[in-house]
Amino acid sequence: MYELEKENLRRLSDNIARFLQPSLIKTFMTAYFDKETVEKILSTEETLSVTKAAQMLLDQMCYLEKVGWFQEFLDILYASEYTGLHKAIKEWNFSELEELDEHRKLLERIEPSFTKLIKPSELLAYMNDCLNIREREEIKAVESHRGYIAASQKLVDSLLRSDKPNWFKVLKIALDACRFDQALELLESNGGGTAAKGCGSDGEAEAMTTETTTTVCFEFREEPESEDMLMSANNMTPTETPSKFTGEHDRSGEIKLREYQKELTAAAVQGQNTIICAPTGCGKTIVALAICEYHLKQSPGRAKIVFLATKVDVYEQQYKLFMKHFSRTDPSIRVTGMCGDMDLSVQWLIENHDIVVMTAQILVNALQSGEVPSLEVLSLILLDECHNTTGKHPYNNIMTRYLDTKLTSSTHSLPQIVGLTASVGIGSFKNRPEAENNILQLCANLDTRVITTVKKQLDELKTYVHTPEKEFFEVPKHTYDPFIRIIKNIMSNIEQLAQKAFNIESLSNIQNREYGSQKYEQWIVSVQKSCRVIQMKDTDEERRICRELYNYTEHLRKYNDALIINEDARTKDALDYLDGFFEQVRNAGYDETERKLTAFYDSQRPQLLHLATEGQQNPKLEELKFILEEEYHNNEETRTVLFVKTRALADAMKKWIDDTDSLKFLKPGVLIGKGRKSNFTGSVMTLTSKKGVLDSFKSTDQNSDQSKILIATSVADEGIDIPQCNLVLMYEYVGNVVKMVQVRGRGRAQGSRCFLISSSKECIEKERINMIKEKIVEEAIVQLQSHPAELSNKVDVLQREDKARRDHVSASPDKPKTRGSYRLLCGKCKKFACFSDDLRVVQESHHIALDRSMFERCVTVPHKNPKTFQGFSKKEKMLCAECKRDWGLIASYLTIQDLPLLKIESFVVQNCDTRQQFYFRRWRDVTFAIREFDMTEITPQTWPMRD
């Protein structure tokens, strides 16, 4: 009886055991098996494995003879929410469940990293469709008793055994809803997202269903937008454009280098340390991939490569590119990535992967903490934008460790160093010898004696890399502007009020400050720093004066910003900026001084509004309008990148274009960094929003929401590549030689043009000097390359001199940290916050206050961007209860809830004995000792639950 069913159970036992957890159908077992058998199965599940217990259960079922057992088995499966398994057994068809194998393998592969990036209790609310009630309760219990990582592992185990066909989709939706972006990206970057093959291939994109998740795919800094283009773009004829080849790729996945790219790899593939200096747009990332491939083949199983980026934006793009390339060419190459928000072990990543893409500070932190014992665990380090290897930059920190090891140890095994840059024109110089000295110092810092440039294949390079023509537009400044006069009068009145409260001229040495200038901003910073540590006999008076001066200078700062915006944009945009600031003031701690200053603004606003709507136009905007109208009249397919100095100006320019009838067809997109919010719009740019902006700019579909102009801050200097761009506009945007080369290189199309628009003769002259300096740098490189022995000797001398200086500094005794007690006072109102004795340091960098009463002196608000980092989960912002000054974060750490993480820059530190006050911008600058955090200090009595 039931012979067919038993035979099928034996035949498909492996398939069933992968999903079935015996304890979830305990009622079925107790009805058909004796107590000893049931206990043995449950014991096996608890002590050995769920799969073995399921196999044991299935074996026992094959001996059952009682009528109705099989139907009851199906019924209990359905009642226990095993809907997928119930259907598969009922129809004896496991094809639907087998389709989940790829998702299971993916989750198993990334589990070690994935489990450190999520908080299961937050995900469970979205996962009712793929986890049953008991599984959800068990995961919650594990998190409560053993923490997030253990609960995450339990969650993964449950998903790997899930018989729900939609579990993978539900997981991604949950990750997205809970803002676990790094975990979602890890899932998708490792093959869990479906992407159109060319990241722009129309045919394949249209074939995607509504349930498809598209992998984010950028047009990378200097190379084509997708892996397909890595193989195809190098096969173009010089007259063809990369956009024609999107989606058409060599299925073998092989990189086919151009001759000049082969020349750029020559020194690196010989194992030499080198700086690869080549123009923007020539394909340096393709060169880097080729170097990595060669290095991996030369040291199979032993190579450990780290690719370093300076910015998170660039890291994200390069990580995706490396992942996509090696997943196609050689899936056995293990590629991973890490940036600041990811709570992963760097040592584990290096040990278990062949290539790790990361931001430089991650490696610095790992070396400082000892997590990565030495750079000798690596075999190759590639530094993107390596011209940054100077001063206190993380690149230089890494290379200092490298050089100290090299110069002090006779037996070392240091990695090969390869730097990538568009220009080595660093530092200040006036002539070729000075430029040579700067380049030699960069070579010494990077321990390289070879500068690789294109020489033999220069003609080929010129057919692919187009240098835009540069033109200068000097525009007259505003003539008489009543808006400027009114704002300056307001600022003068505020300065007089501040002077009555305290002699502010004694608080700063900065003289000859002009309203609407960077120098005035520097004066404000200097005054605020000094007023924080003003001391008086009457402490109440001291607090009142400190708070008043802070309010006065903060309002002066915003008026100064408005003058700067008015200089480059419209009066309307400057007024909008001020309106936004005063709205924030009204919604925050609104004291008597702020009420007075707000009333002052309100009394002038009607006149300011009239000027904003009826006043004269900005001559610079009129010139920019003329240029854009002419360029698009001559060529409707023009693609423009407009570079501006600040986020506020980027937002203002977008509004101006949208409001201008003759330009609104351009549908401008804005590209800014991922850092703090814009003061102008309160906006930040996520990776997804950047992708949307770039996709719109690159679109060729006339019927789509196509953007023809991209307004960018410095994030685009080193961050994006747009082959279609044929017009680069620099709007009061001038830097050094390196910036000039990078910005100009955004124009990739043949016949590209580059315009500088400025009302400053000095600004235009500086750019002309940069052009001269670029030629000086080129001559300096040729001179150094022609004398390799001399270059090598000078690098050796510089390295020994630098080492001697470092040794002298390290031999000087550090100023000992004092053991006295200090008070932390609010930097704005001087209200007491906590004692230094209550401070603890976690992981050498995070500073917490173990004073529960601190919550009586602050208020908390939900954090707008909660996330997890290094074991901390930030939940709330902490503000001074009296003046609403930002004091830091409220976060959980491991299993400990509601820990205050303080920002030292928000406080004044007062010696309890002498009452002397100090201000520190960084925790590493404090002069008193702070104890290491000890988990045993946290008990229910010392750290009770918050009300």
Q: What pTM value is reported for the model?
A: 0.65
Last residue of a domain, one of 715, 749, 781: 781
Do 86 and 130 share a structural domain? Answer: no
How far apart CA 483 and CA 573 sit, in angstroms, is: 12
Confidence class for position 331, pLDDT limits 50, 70, 90: confident
Asked whether residue 243 carries a pLDDT value surpassing 50, the answer given is no
How far apart CA 790 and CA 793 sit, in angstroms, is: 5
How far apart CA 687 and CA 316 sit, in angstroms, is: 8
Scanning the structure block, which residue is given the tokens 């009296």? 882
How far apart CA 325 and CA 348 sit, in angstroms, is: 23
Bridge partners of residue 869, in order along the sequence: 872
Do 752 and 828 share a structural domain? Answer: no
Do 748 and 653 share a structural domain? Answer: yes
| 327: CATH | 3.40.50.300
Do 275 and 255 share a structural domain? Answer: yes
Asked whether residue 11 carries a pLDDT value surpassing 90, the answer given is no
The predicted pLDDT at position 696 comes to: 66
Scanning the structure block, which residue is given the tokens 């955090």? 933
Last residue of a domain, one of 749, 781, 813: 781
DSSP label at residue 704? S
Mean pLDDT over residues 320-349, rounded? 84
Tallying the residues shown for the chain, one arrives at 947
> Is 747 inside any structural domain?
yes
> Is 220 inside any structural domain?
no
Q: Which domain holds residue 505?
A: 488-601
Do 749 and 658 share a structural domain? Answer: yes
How far apart CA 906 and CA 529 sit, in angstroms, is: 11
DSSP characters for 86-140?
HHHHHHT--HHHHTTHHHHHHHHHHHHHHTTS--HHHHGGG-TTTS-HHHHHHHH
Residue 453 is encoded by which pair of tokens?
């440039």
How far apart CA 179 and CA 867 sit, in angstroms, is: 8
Report which of 929, 930, 904 is spatially closest to residue 919, judged by C-alpha positions: 904
- Number of folded domains that form the chain: 6
How far apart CA 276 and CA 451 sit, in angstroms, is: 6
Residue 877 is encoded by which pair of tokens?
């912002």
Residue 826 is encoded by which pair of tokens?
């609010």
Write the pLDDT tens digit of every residue in 172-215: 878 877 778 777 877 776 555 433 233 333 333 333 333 332 22
The predicted pLDDT at position 262 comes to: 95
Confidence class for position 222, pLDDT limits 50, 70, 90: very low
> Is 286 inside any structural domain?
yes
Whether 197 and 225 have beta carbons less than 8 Å apart is answered as no
| 913: CATH | 2.170.150.30
Q: Report which of residues 447 and 14 the model is more confident about.
A: 447
> Is 789 inside any structural domain?
no
> Is 606 inside any structural domain?
no
Please report, as a single letter, which amino acid is at residue 496.
Answer: Q
Do 704 and 564 share a structural domain? Answer: no
CA 867, 675, 229, 276 dihedral sign is negative
Q: What is the CA radius of gyration of the chain?
A: 32
Do 184 and 106 share a structural domain? Answer: yes
Report which of 854, 855, 860, 856 is spatially closest to residue 837, judged by C-alpha positions: 854
Bridge partners of residue 383, in order along the sequence: 308, 419
Whether 20 and 76 have beta carbons less than 8 Å apart is answered as no
Do 498 and 410 share a structural domain? Answer: no
Confidence class for position 692, pLDDT limits 50, 70, 90: low
Burial class (CB in 10 A: 0-12, 13-18, 19+), 338: buried
How far apart CA 194 and CA 213 sit, in angstroms, is: 6
Cα–Cα distance list, 200 to 28, 164, 265, 504 (Å) = 54, 32, 30, 59
Confidence class for position 118, pLDDT limits 50, 70, 90: confident
Do 376 and 303 share a structural domain? Answer: yes
Mean pLDDT over residues 654-683, rounded? 75
> Is 263 inside any structural domain?
yes
Whether 81 and 135 have beta carbons less than 8 Å apart is answered as no
Confidence class for position 442, pLDDT limits 50, 70, 90: very high
**What are the two backbone dihedrals, phi and then psi, of residue 279, each rounded to the nearest 5 degrees?**
-65, 155
> Is 213 inside any structural domain?
no
Do 184 and 316 share a structural domain? Answer: no
